[in-house]
């Protein structure tokens, strides 16, 4: 498929905001200082709002975006459009409650956590429900959306909490970021291995209804590009895709893991800040790879060019 940068930035930024909020709720349950929680909650809201703004760039007619909610009964995209603003609103109220120093109940925190998981489920199911795209149609898609967002949010939280409270108060945050990065790396590698071993269900013969044993396509049937050649294929070589895969694995998982491990022994802020930046850049590459690796069946016919 052709990766859309607006959707890539949306999933990465919103996911980081959701993961950050989960870590803030955990800190709240352990009696953290309300003002620090309020500022962290504001950062979470900003990340999700930036993601929402990026998603508007994917719309052909942004002024008609409200119509996206109309199909909520059957469309995961419509459900995502409903759940995302609801999540932002609840997190904003939770942050305001702590800013005012009146966190009387954990109801908003629980609601925010449930909405974060619901948002990951909606976003993941947009892709996992497409059975003809076999690279996406698997439970690992849902799990990866959840763990990748939670991982990046936990790493951002570790850097934020260290900047405010120093080493002693941040040890759990660093350990949590390390554990979530390991879990996310394991599930993403599992999905890459699965995708590599997938065998196409269609052939050039079945694509055009010809039963000849030997069939070689010499032309795509047109002298120029079309919607089919632009929107269902990324246009990059296999070498480029392979290089992006290793860049994604290195920046999103390997380098942050090394930095977090060092930070457990020699905790300094710049290590955690570098881990956040590395993970953010790596996840942008990983999301590009996620879309590019989805091999639409129509490409069997349309990607052959004389």
Give the residue extent of every domain in the chain. Answer: 5-302
Nearest-10 crossing angle of helices 269-292, 171-196: 20
Which residues fall within 8 angstroms of residue 300, CB to CB, at 6 or more apart?
Answer: 200, 202, 203, 204, 207
CA distance 236 to 53: 27
CA distance 261 to 271: 10
Per-residue confidence of the chain (306 residues) as pLDDT tens digits? 788 888 999 999 999 999 999 999 999 988 888 899 999 999 999 999 999 988 877 666 666 666 777 778 888 989 999 999 999 999 999 999 999 887 666 899 999 999 999 999 999 999 999 998 899 999 999 999 999 999 999 999 999 999 998 877 788 999 999 999 999 999 999 999 999 988 878 777 877 788 888 887 777 666 667 777 777 888 788 899 899 999 999 999 999 999 999 998 888 899 999 999 999 999 999 999 999 988 888 877 776 554
**Domain spanning 5-302: CATH 1.10.3720.10:** no
Torsion sign across C-alpha atoms 57, 61, 67, 68: negative
pTM of the model: 0.91
């Amino acid at each position: 498929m052709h990766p859309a940068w607006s959707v890539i930035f949306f999933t990465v930024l919103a996911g980081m905001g959701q993961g950050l909020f989960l870590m803030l709720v955990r800190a709240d349950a352990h009696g953290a200082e309300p003002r620090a929680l309020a500022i962290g909650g504001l950062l979470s809201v900003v990340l999700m709002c930036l993601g929402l703004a990026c998603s508007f760039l994917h719309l052909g007619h942004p002024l008609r975006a409200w119509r996206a909610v109309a199909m909520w009964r059957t469309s995961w995209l419509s459900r995502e459009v409903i759940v995302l603003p609801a999540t932002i609103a609840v997190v904003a109220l939770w942050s305001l409650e702590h800013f005012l120093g009146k966190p009387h109940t954990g109801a908003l925190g629980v609601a925010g956590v449930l909405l974060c998981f619901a948002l990951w489920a909606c976003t993941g199911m947009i892709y996992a429900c497409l059975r003809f795209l076999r690279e996406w149609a698997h439970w690992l898609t849902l799990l990866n959306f959840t763990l990748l967002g939670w991982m990046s949010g936990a790493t951002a939280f570790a850097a934020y909490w260290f900047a405010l409270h120093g080493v002693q108060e941040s040890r759990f945050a660093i350990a949590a970021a390390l554990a979530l990065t390991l879990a996310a790396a394991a599930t993403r590698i599992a999905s890459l291995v699965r995708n590599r071993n997938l065998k196409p269900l269609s052939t050039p013969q079945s694509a055009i209804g010809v039963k000849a044993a030997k069939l070689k396509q010499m032309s795509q049937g047109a002298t120029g590009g079309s919607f089919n050649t632009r929107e269902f294929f990324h246009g990059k070589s296999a070498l480029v895709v392979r290089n992006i895969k290793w860049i994604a694995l290195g920046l999103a998982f390997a380098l942050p893991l090394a930095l977090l491990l060092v930070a457990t022994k020699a905790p300094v802020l710049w290590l955690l800040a570098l881990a956040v930046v590395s993970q953010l850049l790596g996840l942008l590459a990983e999301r590009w790879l996620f879309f590019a690796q989805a091999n639409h069946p129509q490409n069997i016919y349309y990607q052959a060019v004389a």
